[in-house]
A and B are shown apart, each in its own frame.
Chain A
Amino acid sequence: MLFFKRQLPLAIAFFFGMVGFFAQYIPHHSFEALYNELISWVRLLYAFALILGTYSLLRLHSKRIERKAPGFGYSLVLWAGFIATFAAGMYNDGRGFLAGQSDSGMLMWIYDYVFKPAGATMFSVLAFFIASAAYRTFRARTTAAGMLLASAIIVMIGRIPIGDMISEHLPILASWLMEVPNAAVKRGIFLGVALGVVATSLRIIFGIERAYLGGD
């Protein structure tokens, strides 16, 4: 079975990687058609990845419940939430799962009154934790940390309307920090990431990188 676990996935990765690569450089209509077809396939794969992701998540939490691992109560909440949301989605306000998504009903109620407030709460809580972290850990222990701290203060005040009230130079200084040193560093990071992506892609296409095949 090594063929299905190793050789076949490697051959598929090599073939489609090469097709995707050459399609960018060969302006022939047949290659363009093939590329368009592959793009549609990728979108289908996204949908399958969603199913696989859901399965993995539920399996992980089932195991936690079975083992009664610390905090397994949260796993029960996850399962309950999944079952309720899935059932509401399938029922689709009485229209059934084959019809288009209804604008009302239980699923929309869950979205409006559970999911939305919970998401907003998670985001709002950040302000409290940032304030606590700012007070406790943001220390100018070294020259570099001192520079970072000074820049952070300038940007924090300069990017909000109150910065204009304090001094007209503050927003200008904040913009300079964002547009010159920040942009320079970001460019370097982006170039590095892009080169890394190229290198990793080549390693996968040529079968050097095999971590995605799993450990078995």
Chain B
Amino acid sequence: MRRSTLKKLLDLDRRWIFLTVLICAIGARFVDFELPVYPKAGVRAMYDKIEEVAAKNGTIIVSMDYDPSSKPELEPLSRALLRHAFSRKVKVIAMTHNPNGQRLAQTVLEETASEFDVKYGDDYVLLGYKAGSGTLVINMGQDFRDAFSKDHAGKDLASFAVTRELTSIAQIDYVISVSASAYWESWMIYGHDRYGFPYGVGVTGVIAPDIFPFLQTGQVTGLVGGLAGAAEYETLIKKPGMAVTGMKPQSAIHMLLVLFVLFGNFVFFYDLVLKRRQEKGHREERRT
């Protein structure tokens, strides 16, 4: 292969790369193939924890701390978690730390609740959004009613069976933050570490590596990372949904990225070898 050809390959117009990614993502949706999804330990730990809460007819908080930009990656997990909780009659208190997340949380909650025989107020409640993040969590631990006296629609929390007896988040059996930014840290530092409730995290694939140290210390009970983690959770509850479907394009794109990296490196080093040979040839020519 000539160096000029290699140069062309190295300087390939990025629109060709974009087109390949597009074809790969769309193509994978239409090609019929099955991918095995095996739940990892962190995902199984979250599933087991909810089963444990279900056994004692307990209550969980699902904090959907993401906005529309992370919706494709995190919403499948929110749905799977809520489906699991509602199917096992676990009471759910939903909320968000993200000012742009309330509408998303409300839609997911209402759509998932409609699939089950659950009633607003008796089985689940949406607190909505309040500013404060870490300080809000501290406030919820000190005096829950001071932090949230009403639900998202302005109704008194004392009128709902789920929240009537609630005075502190320390009474909650499991808190899960589905987060696309540092909100998961607020729940851990100002919530779990102060008030001792069990705490699980569902995050985007990019954030997941940050959580491993806390999973190992036991500060986090259950970790679901990215769409792959959500697919594992869907497999555990035996309700394949958007995440399992999304595994095909995601796997295809991951493989494409690996091929791009390998091919890019092959071209780069091959070009380097040719360049050195050329320079050696020039030096010998000059000598002769």
Contact = CB atoms under 8 A, between A and B. Distances in A.
Interface of A: 36, 39-40, 42-43, 46-47, 50, 100-101, 103, 108, 111-112, 115-120, 122-124, 127-128, 130-132, 134-136, 138-140, 149, 152-153, 156-157, 159-162, 164-165, 171, 175, 178-179, 182-183, 186-187, 190
Interface residues of B, number: 67
Contact of B143 (A36, A47, A100, A124): A36
Contacts of A140: 265
B39 to A, nearest CB: 11
26 contacts: A39-B139, A40-B139, A43-B132, A43-B139, A46-B133, A100-B152, A100-B154, A103-B106, A111-B103, A112-B103, A120-B71, A123-B70, A123-B72, A124-B72, A128-B17, A131-B17, A131-B18, A131-B256, A135-B17, A159-B225, A160-B247, A161-B36, A164-B38, A165-B35, A183-B213, A186-B210
Contacts of A149: 261, 265
B159 interface: no
Nearest to B232: A161
A171 B38 contact: yes
Interface of B: 10, 12, 14, 17-18, 20-22, 25, 35-38, 40, 67-73, 100, 102-104, 106, 130-133, 135-136, 138-139, 142-143, 146, 152-154, 205, 208-210, 212-213, 216, 225-226, 228, 231, 247, 250-251, 253-258, 260-265, 268
A50 B205 CA distance: 29
Contacts of B154: 100
Given A134-B264, A164-B36, A182-B209, A39 B142 contact: yes
